[in-house]
Amino acid sequence: MGQRFHRGFTAAEKTELWDRWKRGESLKAIGRAFGKPSSSIYFLVAPHGGIRPAQRRRSRLALTLTEREVISRGTTAHHSARSIAKLLGRSPSTVCREMSRNGGYDSYRAALADEKAWARARRPKCLQIGEQSATTTGRGGEAQVGLVARADSRLAEENEASNQLQTWTRRYTQPYPSQYRS
């Protein structure tokens, strides 16, 4: 038995799906309209609680595609990051970080950088502190491991203080039976 390729939903199909769901159509009816089982419709609707998710949009602070094009043209013309930033009215560190995230000074491409930025903006993000290993070398790694160790010891101290408070509360604020005799 051969494996079939199951394609997902395009953006237009998802819009149509949510419109049908809002009109009150059943999962089976929506599935029939798309030629898919109702379970595939369910797994798109259920994570959002049956409410259409807000449309993704960029932050007003993020670089636009036109700004990325200016950066790309500036790098091909061998301008410095500082002069490109001056043209854009942005901080030089913003331009420098943008270039280093997306191929560096020599191989920066605006369209690819824009796609990568859109993908990086997805939520939820992975927790980075859990990915740090205790065997990290170098000054920065030692600082991070030290930071984690200090945070763990503080949590242990807070937990111990909380336990002491609970014990004191139990011991000294219990109602005395003699108070309730009539």
Q: Rg of the Cα trace of the chain? A: 28
Whether residue 180 lies inside any domain: the answer is no
Asked if residue 177 has a cis previous peptide bond (ω within 30° of 0), the answer is no
Mean pLDDT by 10 residues, the chain (182 residues): 67 91 93 90 89 87 94 94 95 95 92 92 69 49 56 68 70 60 54
What pLDDT score was predicted for residue 63? 94
d(CA 172, CA 176): 10
Whether residue 57 lies inside any domain: the answer is no
69 and 99 fall within a common domain? yes
| pTM, two decimal places | 0.54
Q: How many CB atoms lie within 10 A of CB 181?
A: 6
Percentage of the chain exceeding pLDDT 90: 41
What pLDDT score was predicted for residue 135? 45
Whether residue 148 lies inside any domain: the answer is yes
Closest Cα partner for 95 from 80, 112, 76? 80
Enclosing domain of residue 113: 65-120
44 and 72 fall within a common domain? no
What pLDDT score was predicted for residue 58? 87
117, 62 in Cβ contact below 8 A? yes
**Domains contained in the chain, number:** 3
Spatial CB neighbours of 14, under 8 Å, sequence gap ≥ 6? 44
34, 13 in Cβ contact below 8 A? yes
114 and 79 fall within a common domain? yes
Q: What is the DSSP letter of 131?
A: G
For residue 132, give the 3-state DSSP assignment.
coil
